[in-house]
Amino acid sequence: MDVFLRRLKTEDISQVVEIEREAFSPLWVSTSFKRELNNKYACYLVACPDAETVEAVMAETQASTQRPLWQRLARGVNEVIGRPRKSAAAEEFVAGYVSVWYQGEEAHITEIAVREKLRGRGIGELLLIGSMREAVKYGSKVMTLEVRVSNFIAQRLYEKYAFKTVGTRKGYYSDNREDAVIMTTSPIDTEEYQQLFQGLQETYRSRWGEIQFDG
């Protein structure tokens, strides 16, 4: 599966809000993405899959009587099969996103989410890699995040990238008052961490393909 990262654009916001609601429930307090676009202390990246992946997911959901927004945006994807990766129809489709706030020397991942039907395909890990690259470029020393105590899959991914549990936030999630695990890395700008990070990216490439970022 061919997926590339790029920065959030205004025309992506409706899709990102849709993904946010799917991932965090309709009761989640939505981010003001439009306002945040020009925030120099924040970074928003989106993951865009190739046309073949879009078509495959569409085929799986054709029985649905009500098409979600992302399916409507992907109409005509058959026309772009076999064309270059960055065809217009494929680039309009957003499979997931990550938002990061820069606070002093800390880069804090506030949200990372992937469409339910595209989970388990390495997209969440790609978003994590992209956010870490950008944090290093920004000059951040550590990365932090919160994750649901019940989300063991996400916790294992973060642990692979050397995030460690440092505490909990009681009743953090507004939809069901679930606790959050607070996780943080050791300094990410050290030679030791960068060697680990480079190795993890090579492992990612061998499984999922090249890491493509249109910064």
Token digits for 38? Answer: 């020009």
Give the active site residue among 102, 158, 161, 173: 158
What SS3 class is residue 80? helix
- For residue 122, the 8-state DSSP code is S
Give the active site residue among 102, 134, 146, 173: 146
Q: Please indicate whether residue 105 is annotated as part of the active site.
A: no
Give 194's contacts (C-beta < 8 A, 6+ positions apart): 136, 188
Question: What's the half-sphere exposure (Cβ side, CA atoms, 13 Å) at 193?
Answer: 15
* Residue 140 burial (CB count, 10 A): 24
**Contact at 8 Å (CB) between 175 and 159?**
no
Q: Please indicate whether residue 146 is annotated as part of the active site.
A: yes
Report the catalytic residues. Answer: 146, 158
